[in-house]
Amino acid sequence: MLYPNTWRRTALAVFFLAAAVALAAAPAHAGRSCEAHKPTPQLIERGMQLAQQTAAALDAEFARSGSRVVVLGRAGQDLGKYGLRYSHLGWAYRTSEGPWRVVHKLNDCGTAVGHLYRQGLGEFFLDDLWRYEAVWAVPTPEVQQRLLPVLQDSARVRTLQHLPYSMVSYVWGRKYQQSNQWALETLAVAMEPASVRTRDQAQAWLQFKGYEPSVLKIGALTRLGGRVGSANIAFDDHPNDKRFADRIETVTVDSVLAWLPRARLASTAVTLRLEN
């Protein structure tokens, strides 16, 4: 069942946001701050500019190649200290009517759960972004053909949705599931519907295809502070030998964008950045 999102609508954003539909009604975030604040006119304008330019670029790609599915990322947080450029991704697809929609997982603010959302590009980028930059990669025709019907089907897209959420969930664990992890596991479901029905099967497929997670260097004090201060951060699903060595292996946008062309599942990433 689809539910409306709760983000504030503005006159400038009506075109993109009126069609935004979510799989859960709650303030949510992924790859950005969860602090409650009123969006400024400048923030809204820049977010909408990025959405409009991204839509134009994706429409141009559709006109050129017929591509209707991309993996789309944003930079909602400064993750430079971990060597990462982007913080969150989802699967974007072009509807038969024309507009692009993004299916992605978001964490409910202040909680340890995450739900799936179906949004327009405007809402996807209408955030207090750390950097006004979009990044995407175009899957191969075969991947698009398999993914599109899954993304359009609210039941199939929830196949491996797992409610318990941690921003740094272990890549090969099943206790939690963060946003980028859901996106990869859903790719596995789409590519192998006959044999991938569980998260462990999806992860086995990803390992077979050579996916390698990012390894974040996070010390014990940082882990303790994050776990105590945030409901959506947990480290107890990571193997002890890796966790106590400060090696946190998790799914990141950067690792996904590096892996997809290596696995011959998508093109090299394309970026679009608003100038200051």
As a whole number, the mean pLDDT across the chain is 85
| Span 11-32, average pLDDT | 39
The yes-or-no verdict on residue 65 having pLDDT over 70 is yes
Q: How many angstroms from the chain centroid is the CA of residue 195?
A: 24
Non-local CB neighbours of 68 within 8 Å, separated by 6+ positions? 62, 93, 94, 144, 148
Q: So what's the pLDDT on residue 221?
A: 47
Task: Find, among 82, 22, 19, the residue nearest to 6 by Cα.
Answer: 22
pLDDT-derived band at 114 (thresholds 50, 70, 90) equals: very high
pLDDT-derived band at 119 (thresholds 50, 70, 90) equals: very high
Q: So what's the pLDDT on residue 34?
A: 57
The yes-or-no verdict on residue 253 having pLDDT over 90 is yes
pLDDT-derived band at 110 (thresholds 50, 70, 90) equals: confident
More confident call, 29 vs 263: 263
More confident call, 16 vs 267: 267
Q: So what's the pLDDT on residue 220?
A: 64
Q: So what's the pLDDT on residue 231?
A: 84
pLDDT-derived band at 222 (thresholds 50, 70, 90) equals: low
CA 118 – CA 123 distance, rounded (Å): 10
The yes-or-no verdict on residue 154 having pLDDT over 50 is yes
The yes-or-no verdict on residue 218 having pLDDT over 50 is yes
CA 74 – CA 20 distance, rounded (Å): 18
pLDDT-derived band at 151 (thresholds 50, 70, 90) equals: very high
Non-local CB neighbours of 274 within 8 Å, separated by 6+ positions? 46, 49, 50, 53, 132, 133
The yes-or-no verdict on residue 25 having pLDDT over 90 is no
| Span 252-268, average pLDDT | 98
The yes-or-no verdict on residue 132 having pLDDT over 80 is yes
Q: So what's the pLDDT on residue 13?
A: 30
| Span 137-160, average pLDDT | 98
Q: So what's the pLDDT on residue 117?
A: 96
Q: So what's the pLDDT on residue 276?
A: 65
| Span 57-82, average pLDDT | 95
